[in-house]
Amino acid sequence: MEYDYLVVGSGLFGSVFAYEASKRGKKVKVIEKRNHIAGNIYTENIEGINVHRYGAHIFHTNNKEIWEYVNRFAEFNHFINSPIANYKGEIYNLPFNMNTFNKLWGVVTPEEAKAKIEEQKAAAGIDKPRNLEEQAISLVGTDIYEKLIKGYTEKQWGRKATELPAFIIKRLPVRFTYDNNYFNDKYQGIPIGGYTQIVEKMLSSDLIDVELEKDFFEHKEEYLKEFPRIVYTGMIDQFFDYQFGTLEYRSLEFETIILDQENYQGNAVVNYTDAETPFTRIIEHKHFEFGTQPKTIITKEYPKKWKKGDEPYYPINDEKNNEMFKRYRQLADQLPNVIFGGRLGMYKYYDMHQVIGAALAVVKKEFE
């Protein structure tokens, strides 16, 4: 088949593009280096439970069009993300809200909670925060910082909070209502039956061929010659042979365990906010879909330093990396037949709704 496009990567970005191109009669080849489609939103069914292989994924958006778009490919349930924090066995509601403040200090009204936070902020006497610790304390006071932020953040970044720049937490969501809904968005949920079906449906057209376990770099030069247009959703620095250096990421390790019990932690997401517990959170997958299976599956999430060859999860968008990305972006702009997209192509943390939005914007530019 003569293809119009090569799409590198079968994640959400590449799949939305392939789907939209096929709808317009274009022939698309998708190559994927993993042995499954769907990128990081991949879910696999184990023991009747949809396991989020690459970390907990909760769909949320304020954009009605994107919500309706994604609902074409799956029915969503009414899951609301309400994570809890476990600090040395004490349980607190997240995001920081009246339930959290009541448990911490026994306060009952928003006024009392505000007064408590103000009192702690004033006692700390921080004028100009010089690092993440000072920034957090100046925003929410010492108690919340010590119990719910410090250990978690230090594990996440692998560095002391006093050595992390203040800009990492510009704002901290503090809510003076008894509301445990983590997101403020209008629409939220989990696809009933998991995320993989969404990508399966996107790639189901006869005009799309998918080849798994195929790394673009095995045949880069041939692909560039053979395909009139390429949509590339892999790492942008790798595409250019790391000529300006390596963009940095934080990585994660997942430990998944099947347990012979019905309910392990009573919630989909529990954050471990002390410094001693080596993982940052435990996901209990069945709770995303209100499962009643006899067994349960949990995943412990361990943050780790990234090195070439590891899964790149979170871009480290500090000044040095952003500058390097800009230089790669300039090279990309000189390749009129290659479109760079997705979280790795743009070196940007994107939520799912943002990746769909970005892919649809590219589609619009390409076809209209």
Is 183 a residue that touches ligand FAD (CB under 6 A)? no
Q: In this structure, what token pair is assigned to residue 29?
A: 């080849």
Identify the helix (H) or strand (E) that includes residue 52.
strand 49-52
34 is catalytic: no
Neighbours of 109 (CB within 10 A): 12
Is 32 a residue that touches ligand FAD (CB under 6 A)? yes
Is 133 a residue that touches ligand FAD (CB under 6 A)? no
Between helices 352-367 and 12-23, what is the axis angle to 10°?
30
Q: How far is the CB of 52 from ligand FAD (least distance, A)?
A: 8
Q: In this structure, what token pair is assigned to residue 83?
A: 């994570």
The binder of ligand FAD chosen from 3, 5, 11, 67 (CB under 6 A)? 11
> Which position among 175, 272, 347, 350 bears the catalytic label?
175
State the SS3 of 255-284: EEEEECCCCCCCCCEEEECCCCCCCCEEEE
Site residues for ligand FAD, 200-229, by CB under 6 A, read 215-217
Query: Cα separation of 339 and 337, whole Å?
Result: 7
130 is catalytic: no
Q: How far is the CB of 15 from ligand FAD (least distance, A)?
A: 7
Is 31 a residue that touches ligand FAD (CB under 6 A)? yes
Q: Decide: 148 and 242 in contact? Cβ < 8 Å.
A: no
User: Would you give the binding string for ligand FAD spanning residues 234-253, x where CB under 6 A is met?
Assistant: x-----------------x-
171 is catalytic: yes
Total binding residues toward ligand FAD, as defined by CB under 6 A: 35
Q: In this structure, what token pair is assigned to residue 283?
A: 């996901």
Name the one range near ligand FAD by CB under 6 A: 130-138, 258-266, 288-296, 346-354.
Answer: 346-354
Site residues for ligand FAD, 43-62, by CB under 6 A, read 54-59
Is 342 a residue that touches ligand FAD (CB under 6 A)? yes
Identity of the residue, 291 or 341, whose beta carbon is nearer to ligand FAD in the bound complex: 341
DSSP assignment of 275-337: SSSS-SEEEEGGGGGT---SSEEEEEEEEEE--TTS---EE--SHHHHHHHHHHHHHHHT-TT
DSSP state of 149: I
> Which position among 20, 42, 154, 281 bears the catalytic label?
281
Site residues for ligand FAD, 303-332, by CB under 6 A, read 313
Query: Cα separation of 33 and 38, whole Å?
Result: 11
Phi, psi angle pair for 40, to nearest 5°: -80, -5
β-bridge mates for residue 188, sequence order: 60
281 is catalytic: yes
Q: How far is the CB of 225 from ligand FAD (least distance, A)?
A: 17
Q: How far is the CB of 39 from ligand FAD (least distance, A)?
A: 2
Identity of the residue, 9 or 151, whose beta carbon is nearer to ligand FAD in the bound complex: 9
Judged by the rule CB under 6 A, the positions of this chain that interact with ligand FAD are 8-14, 31-34, 39-41, 54-59, 215-217, 233-234, 252, 313, 342-344, 350-353, 355
Instruction: List, by residue number, the catalytic residues.
Output: 171, 175, 250, 281, 301, 349, 351
